[in-house]
Amino acid sequence: MSDSSQDHNRAAMRQAWDWSDLWKKEDYWAIWLAFGLLGLGLVLYFFGSLSIQETNAKIRELNDRLRAASDRAPFKTLDWHEALEAKRKLKATGTPLGKRIQAFTATPQSWKGNPFWAFVQRPKTVSQADRDAYDQAQAEVERTYQSAQSAEQLATEMEFQDQTHNASSVEAIDAWRSAQSLEAKAKKKVSPSSYNRVPGLIGLAGMLAVFFGFGRHYMGTSLRRFLPGFFFVFLIGVLAYTIGANSMMKERGIGYAAWAILLGLLISNTLGTPRWARPAVATEYYIKTGLVLLGAEILFGKILLIAPPGYGWPGSSRRWF
């Protein structure tokens, strides 16, 4: 290609692009909205109810316990498992703010028989049999824990040089962990959760309408035209989630994505997309925003995986932030 042709192409590209594209094209708005949401998440994380300093101090303390337990014994001791479990519980979703955000963004619950149960569930009456099963599970956890303590104490007295005592300790600790797992299952039956998804879904619909409507406004679609159509699209999405949450659909592996496609095909090939809803049927706009968020999630996940040395525990290449 001649130099004159290359210069002509460069000039054409400069003319085709304008600074106004930054706030008039959905490609850029997908980036701005996704990064704005990430920025809000960082603000809530660093300045919300979770104290980063306290969390990092707790992580270092637990890492020290894991390291000391690994250095002390040739197997994973009780203290090692307890420290690891405590470390797993250190997450933003476990804070009061994190729980509120989870409740606000919760999708329809799994249901069977009555679709109303996907949105509202009142506490169920706990049977005496379930209570008795939970009491027995708790007693078994206590019994196996004491047994594991005794076995580990014998191994400690032998300075972990006796393989028979070491093997007995591992077996007793495994029995304790199995009892814990059974106790957790029994606890779910005696602690049935109640929920009401309706207020959260209404609030989420309003928040997302403003979130995406802000960009559509600067791209030339007024909020007055965008909002009715968006709530229609949101309702279709909730319906797809509700059908996909049915226990029978879950067993057959037919999720909400498949139902969203089927519902869209049904509407477009029968009644047709309503004219008043078309300003909000911006499929690429939503998908592009989601793709940016997905890419950021993968990137941040890699960063956390290779966080600075000093946040890991022996025997693992994983690093903890």
Query: What average pLDDT is seen over the chain?
Result: 84
Q: Among 112-126, 175-189, 210-224, which is the least confidently predicted range?
A: 112-126
In a domain, 132, yes or no: yes
In a domain, 270, yes or no: no
What pTM does this model have?
0.70
> If we measure between CA atoms, which residue out of 293, 288, 292 comes closest to residue 27?
288
User: What's the average model confidence in pLDDT over 175-202?
Assistant: 89
Regarding predicted confidence, which is higher, 13 or 118? 118
Cβ within 8 Å of residue 91, ≥6 positions away: 98
Regarding predicted confidence, which is higher, 268 or 170? 170
| 311 has a pLDDT exceeding 60 | no
Distances from the Cα of 298 to the Cα of 28, 145, 214, 286, 304, angstroms = 20, 39, 26, 19, 10
In a domain, 163, yes or no: yes
N-terminal to C-terminal alpha carbon distance within the chain = 51
CA distance 14 to 311: 48
| 77 has a pLDDT exceeding 80 | yes
| 117 has a pLDDT exceeding 70 | yes
pLDDT given at position 15: 53
CA distance 137 to 173: 16
pLDDT given at position 139: 96
Most confident of 22-36, 118-132, 159-173, 280-294: 159-173
Distances from the Cα of 254 to the Cα of 11, 235, 243, angstroms = 51, 19, 9
pLDDT given at position 48: 63
CA distance 241 to 249: 11
Percent of the chain with pLDDT over 90: 45
Confidence band for 176, pLDDT divided at 50, 70 and 90 = very high
In a domain, 166, yes or no: yes
pLDDT given at position 132: 92
Number of domains in the chain: 1
In a domain, 138, yes or no: yes
In a domain, 280, yes or no: no
In a domain, 279, yes or no: no
Question: For residues 101 and 50, is the Cβ–Cβ distance under 8 A?
Answer: no
pLDDT given at position 320: 36
With 0-12 CB in 10 A as exposed, 13-18 as middle and 19+ as buried, what is 191?
exposed
pLDDT given at position 57: 83
pLDDT given at position 93: 73
pLDDT given at position 50: 52
Regarding predicted confidence, which is higher, 42 or 16? 42
In a domain, 286, yes or no: no
User: What's the average model confidence in pLDDT over 193-213?
Assistant: 90
Regarding predicted confidence, which is higher, 140 or 122? 140
With 0-12 CB in 10 A as exposed, 13-18 as middle and 19+ as buried, what is 253?
exposed
User: What's the average model confidence in pLDDT over 51-74?
Assistant: 87
Confidence band for 173, pLDDT divided at 50, 70 and 90 = very high
> If we measure between CA atoms, which residue out of 272, 303, 315 comes closest to residue 68?
315
Q: Which domain holds residue 156?
A: 125-192
pLDDT given at position 102: 84
Cβ within 8 Å of residue 191, ≥6 positions away: none
